[in-house]
Amino acid sequence: MTENEKPLNFLEQIITNDLETATTQKVITRFPPEPNGFLHIGHAKSICLNFGLAERFGGECNLRFDDTNPAKEEQAYVEAIKKDVEWLGFKWAGEVRYASSYFDTFYEWAQHLIKEGKAYVCDLNPEQAREYRGSLTEPGKASPNRERSAEESLDLLERMKNGEFDEGSKSLRAKIDMASGNINLRDPVLYRIRKQHHHQTGDKWCIYPSYDFAHGQEDAIEGVTHSICTLEFADHKPLYNWFIENLPVPNTPTQYEFGRLNLNYTVTSKRKLKQLVDEGVVDGWDDPRMPTIAGYRRRGYTPASLRKFCDMIGVTRSDGVVDVAMLEHAIRDDLDKNAARAMCVLKPLKVVLTNYPEGQTEDLSIAGSPNRDDLPARTLPFGREVFIDQEDFREEANKKFKRLVIGKRTRLRGAYVIEADEAIKNDAGDIIEVRARVIEDTVGKDPADGVKPKGVIQWVAAHKNAKFEVRLYDRLFNVEAPGAGGKDFLDDVNPNSLSVVSQALGEIGLLDAAPEQGYQFERIGYFCRDSKEQGLVFNQTIGLRDSFNKPA
Ligand code: ATP
Ligand code: MG
């Protein structure tokens, strides 16, 4: 099935219908992150969805920072988020937008509600306000200030804005319904006093709008037609609609909810990811083990693989948990088709080819990848001494072991067939060298004597190679649902998620590897050069074996 033959998801159906009935002229969506952390794989789903719908229906998608809570936000996060969205391959309409650039309008709208008798300044502190709010089974109690005159509230709001009152001592609340079954409608807070410096507006404001008072109005100001959010905001919809009905907004967006992405063996909450960073469990937001877009990028995931994954999981109206093996399948599939091949030896064992003349070398040539004709051929220097992996040699072995064994033959990938004669050991009995012979005239050919080699192994020339560090990764969490059952999720961190091979050897061309560019290290897995380290370091992207069973 091609892209366009796939059945439409529920949002695509809605939009198709809105365009057909001319309810919508041009589709406008937005991706609205709060700049309080790096984006994670769940955000990738929202990005692909919002930008994808705009692309598909000839519309536009805004990138808007929902920056109403300066205490937790930073410019560095703004920059990281922009980079991630661009890297995924999406282009936002016009300039980046900020909720904070609408603060003047929100303030006027707050005054408007007060004048209409639909908002008041309340003197309850946050704790008292919580008590007054009631519960799911009990109605709330009216604030003692609920009937305060508009005049007085307007004056108090102005003075809150000017910094005359302490944080928590007053708030502006909408006057809706303290008995509503939906707690969001029990006179929600519109403005809080927060004497905070803001990354965009500096020290201009001492009061900040609540997320609820800002979010829907931002969409209305921007003319967003389809305001798409995750399911937990379904309960807020009546409140957003109340604002839209009671304010002089220029447009009326409609909210649609979809199921958020959860992945097993993974946490997708900025708060928890920040904890991993702050407590030093990982080495920053872009640690290759992190489920952040920056982490995946540094680990060698491609934008295409993340987009493919988001496409595979689809969009539904219910929450679910996706198997992380599906994400791993998406990148493996991409790299199998597209990554250049290279040879690397993680545990080097020297092989001396006793019949190959000392001092002689030659340059062999091998395809860049069996799946890509456009990649240039690689040059493989060959000489009397080569390194193979310790795992690929045994003194004796049964037939199943299709690698180098004494008295048996194996092929060095892209080079000669060799036959092993002897293992040299140190005093401790460890094998430190293998003596072997080259079978003549076997580059690209079978041996003339008809004795075929068993298997093909990777190797690296001793006289000309690249030395580097390799970082092998396992899942960051040991269990499918980190922190389930009220446990601390940090207790489920896998202590062996990183292992370092400090002295790996690779073919010489790896010296020129570009950061984040994927390679298949033959018979080992997929790797890319780290983008932060000065020296040569390769990060494992993913192993070769696929544990994901594609649905039939
Ligand atoms: P977190 O819970 O990790 O802090 P958030 O929802 O608070 O995430 P925002 O910056 O507010 O983070 O999110 C921006 C957009 O991304 C929102 O529209 C939100 O619905 C969406 N989003 C966040 N997490 C997911 C997820 N796991 N799956 C799908 N969409 C998500
Ligand atoms: Mg949020």
Q: Are 123 and 145 in contact (CB under 8 A)?
A: yes
How many A from CA of 16 to the centre of ligand 1? Answer: 25
Active site residue 372: no
β-pairing, 189-193 vs 171-174, is antiparallel
Nearest atom within ligand 1 for CA of residue 232: 20
- What DSSP assignment string belongs to 439-458? ETT-TTS--TTS-----EE-
Task: Decide if pLDDT at 1 tops 60.
Answer: no
In this prediction, residues 512-520 reach a mean pLDDT of: 97
Active-site hit among 64, 173, 175, 270: 270
pLDDT digits (tens, 9 = 90+) for 421-438: 999 999 999 999 999 999
Q: 548 pLDDT exceeds 80?
A: no
Confidence of residue 84 (pLDDT cuts 50, 70, 90): very high
Give phi and psi for 418, each to the nearest 5: -125, 160
* Cβ of 261 below 6 Å from ligand 1: yes
270 is known as an active-site residue = yes
191, 160 contact by CB (below 8 A):
yes
**How far apart, in whole angstroms, are the C-alpha atoms of residue 145 and residue 121?**
7
Model-wide pTM > 0.85: yes
Ligand 1 atom with minimal separation from the 230 CA = 20
What's the gap in Å between 240 CA and the centre of ligand 2? 15
The mean per-residue pLDDT over the stretch 9-32 comes to: 98
pLDDT tens digit sequence for 146-191: 999 999 999 999 999 999 999 999 999 999 999 999 999 999 999 9
Distances (CA, A) of 285 to 25, 244, 279, 425, 530: 40, 37, 12, 45, 15
DSSP state of 58: T
Please check the confidence at residue 551 and state whether its pLDDT lies above 50.
no
CA 43 to ligand 1 centroid distance, Å: 5
Q: What is the mean pLDDT of the chain?
A: 96
- Which ligand has an atom closest to residue 315 CA? 1
Question: 160 alpha carbon to ligand 2 midpoint, in Å?
Answer: 26
**pLDDT, average across residues 440-459:** 96
Residue with tokens 């003596």: 435
275 lines ligand 1 (CB under 6 A): no
The pLDDT > 90 percentage for the chain reads 97
Report whether residue 145 contacts ligand 1, using a CB cutoff of 6 Å.
no
Q: What does each C-alpha distance from 63 to 46, 218, 325 come to in angstroms?
A: 12, 12, 30
Q: What is the C-alpha separation between 385 and 131, in angstroms, rounded?
A: 79
| Ligand 1 pocket, mutate which of 34, 40, 43 (most atoms under 8 A from CB) | 43
Query: What's the gap in Å between 34 CA and the centre of ligand 2?
Result: 6
Q: Annotated catalytic, 34? A: yes
Residue among 103, 205, 187 nearest 141 (CA)? 187
Q: Which residue in 87, 166, 178 sits closest to 131, CA to CA?
A: 178
Q: What is the predicted pLDDT for the residue at 5?
A: 72
517 lines ligand 1 (CB under 6 A): no
CA–CA gap between residue 103 and residue 67 (Å, rounded): 10
* Ligand 2 geometric centre to CA of 224 (Å): 18
**Nearest C-alpha to atom 3 of ligand 1 is from which residue?**
269
Confidence at residue 546, expressed as pLDDT on a 0 to 100 scale:
72
Collapsing DSSP to helix, strand or coil, 114 comes out as helix
Q: Which ligand is the nearest neighbour of the Cα of 39?
A: 1
Domains of the chain: 10-258 (3.40.50.620), 270-340+468-543 (1.10.1160.10), 344-458 (2.40.240.10)
pLDDT class for 4, splitting at 50, 70, 90? low
Q: Is the CB of 33 under 6 A from ligand 1?
A: yes
